[in-house]
Structure 1
């Protein structure tokens, strides 16, 4: 029989999981228990919280969807962190329904405390084992912890289509022609119609399709865990408390419907519109400190450039637009040498939507 101490809900933790985590707290009496509404919780590590339906529903765990929702892989991307914090509270008090296994992950906690993107290295470039290349980085242990937590979580999920999901929520550094967009990792499998339809319900305007494997969190969960994974970009970087979360109501609502198992209940207007699709055709890589990115410092994501436009140079290296139109995404000349300083994409909407499976 479970003791009453084990099932005492830690109100300070679940009512404000973000504040609890940033304060460096740990559950005092037990690391697992149940809320008044029957939702079971397990505190697994700093910023990592497992939630599941009541014991009766959990008896059929193999039939349950398993969803990992993460935010704060970059510590200064606060809007998704606040959305996820509110979601944890609403599930705990019964305001939001939970009919699946849920792993909530707050990513780079030390960077959140310092209100910065990262301490030593971009955490979202250290997955798929790349953390082994920077063992002295303060981000490396966190990448290892997040990989292990994801693998353990998805090890308890079936391999049936649509049973494993990962929604990794971010915000962009700069303005964008599409304020809210998504990135899908490459797995070798056809692009998922279920994911595209869910993104449409989340009112995501555009989807960027990677063509080479990267070292992002969503690449890891897609590749190593078999999850339908995406990275969401939900606006611009702002300090905690300065976000208008109503701007991201579409994504928030879609996540909640995914967790409740009521995906089809999302408003019909969002259901009708699939996002535009853009496919990566090249990458600008910073090779040395002599690198020059020849675009305006405040150029927006998805800004188009015509064939023949010189976008970057670095000694003998240069990047010139080769297609009739290419759009630049994530331009950033301040990255370390060897890292991506921009992606170039072309519109492939018609072809992509025709090939969804």
Structure 2
């Protein structure tokens, strides 16, 4: 079931790999756009937006907001710890930020804007808005609408591309946290509520018994899916869930594809699943992904629809050598 519109053991860091390499012309087009856009907005200029600092420092000032820890900034911006520390100290020396150590955790360093820093960020926002408005003003209204829609599509697809899907032990903290979020989500959606005892046990979805995948966006778990053995040659998909913030990206289908690949690796020729009547969007996705509705294969209190898909090993096989007759 999947509510989408999409001392723990240590994780097994097996990250999903792309099923095919990108064509050279797509790579070239992507890089060409990157070069054009970074030049057009002045990202390479040491005086970004005409202010006396490069884009890196300007972006860091913006991300600080009302105050944050350097650890969180490092994760959010995917910055090297040393590089971030040097930028923070430079901004502190300029009187734009204040670095402190909280009394409750001396391992943390907090960073916040000074009054001068807030003034600079406000001016930065004014200049950035003016730059964007100047570019958009040269387009007609229909062209601006077309560009806005294209940017929304670009952001959605880039977010999806940046999400990694990792095979983890079913007992890990992230796996259980995702299942807790899944349970809370569907408990609110099901008229009868949801009992957490229905969740899979770690041993059912780990090792030879099955698989558990967690999807990460910038280090934060945003989706999960489980596969367990139903009977010899048959696997069952459970608890396919996507965080509300990551829905409508196409992530549910990516997690489902990983579960199907894992099913092939476990020598399952068929995968089955069930879903609740309230999850109409999940039913539509399963049908679109090649699942056929079947009679009930198990008596499950939360099931109203049952689906099955026969699997084909996606790994290309070398043809057998020609038979040579004596």
TM (normalized to structure 1)?
A: 0.24
Larger helix fraction of residues: 2
Q: Tell me: higher relative CO, structure 1 or 2? Use CA pairs within 8 A at least 6 residues apart.
A: 2
